[in-house]
Structure 1
């Protein structure tokens, strides 16, 4: 056998790819998308309202146990204006008042009326019955006004309140006149 020339084998070099930079970029992208995802969530206040129900044969009247002395109605109007009255508008306990969102405005009014209603209920033997507030935002009021009045309900510790968007003709006239 003849000596055959040996093939020269090329040496394979181990190629190493440095992934340090890629890992750093990946972590930066993950952090970026987590922050963007968290910041893009809308901040919403949960508000559960009952379904609208209408039956032409059946009409329901809020009677509050026959005691309209506990009812306070708050009408939200444009330009941060509030109109409030106690009792029913057909026979209000006092003339409607125009208030604002200051601590000497609606907050003072709610605190005073709620304490008077609690005293009145305690005299009747029902010490835990406080004010019943009906909040009626007009189409001209903004969402901030509704959130502000809900904050005032929490500050005044009024537990029983409802948000209603139906205005009686008398209430519409009251809003238009003021």
Structure 2
């Protein structure tokens, strides 16, 4: 509460008479109590942001191994330094009739792998994307490429282990 305290005027001087000066003192305790009550109330009644998770639906494991046609495949290799390496087709080292694929490098930028996926899916409606993370790739790279699959609305994609042929192709391309 506010209270007014009178001050003594000092020794009485002859001739001049002064009015008593009043000083005010405001007690801030109730306002601080109210602020902490409101803060506590809003902290307890608010809902915190729900964590966003990416829903990944894995297919049922089947014994039917349908071969992927060479012309319908796009292989993406996740490399070191958030680099995305890709080539069209499959890397079949045992087949002497097929030349080694040309490895291209891009990033996760909007004009990077997203444009490659969009162009290729327009050229080949039955596109199958094979995602192969290397040992040098980060978890964030995997999340980013799965986001790109969702953004570009890819119907068929698979997470595949990287093969030794892919590793040698990656090494020769980075040299």
Normalised TM-score (structure 2): 0.61
Instruction: Return the match for 1:31 from 28, 42, 52.
Output: 42
Instruction: Return the match for 1:70 from 69, 72, 75.
Output: 72
Do 2:91 and 2:101's aligned partners in 1 also have CA atoms closer than 8 Å? no
> Number of paired residues?
135
Which 10-residue stretch deviates more, 152-161 or 43-52? 43-52
Matches within 5 A, 1:147-158: 147-158=143-154
**Residue 56 of structure 2: aligned partner:** 47
* Alpha-carbon distance in 2 for matches of 1:92, 1:111: 25
- 2:114 matches 1:107: yes
Q: Which runs of 5+ in 2 are unaligned?
A: 1-32, 93-97
* Alpha-carbon distance in 1 for matches of 2:140, 2:155: 20
* Alpha-carbon distance in 1 for matches of 2:164, 2:171: 11
Runs of 4+ in 1 over 6 A off after TM superposition: none
* Alpha-carbon distance in 1 for matches of 2:59, 2:150: 21
Computed over aligned residues only, the root mean square deviation of the Cα atoms, in angstroms, reads 3.1
Secondary structure at the aligned position of 1:73 is classed as strand
**Residue 12 of structure 2: aligned partner:** none
Matches within 5 A, 1:83-162: 83-90=85-92, 91=98, 94-118=101-125, 130-162=126-158
Q: Which runs of 5+ in 1 are unaligned?
A: 1-20, 119-129
Normalised TM-score (structure 1): 0.60
Do 1:87 and 1:93's aligned partners in 2 also have CA atoms closer than 8 Å? no
Quote how far apart the aligned CAs of 1:77 are.
Answer: 0.7
Quote how far apart the aligned CAs of 1:45 are.
Answer: 2.0
* Alpha-carbon distance in 1 for matches of 2:54, 2:166: 27
Quote how far apart the aligned CAs of 1:50 are.
Answer: 5.7
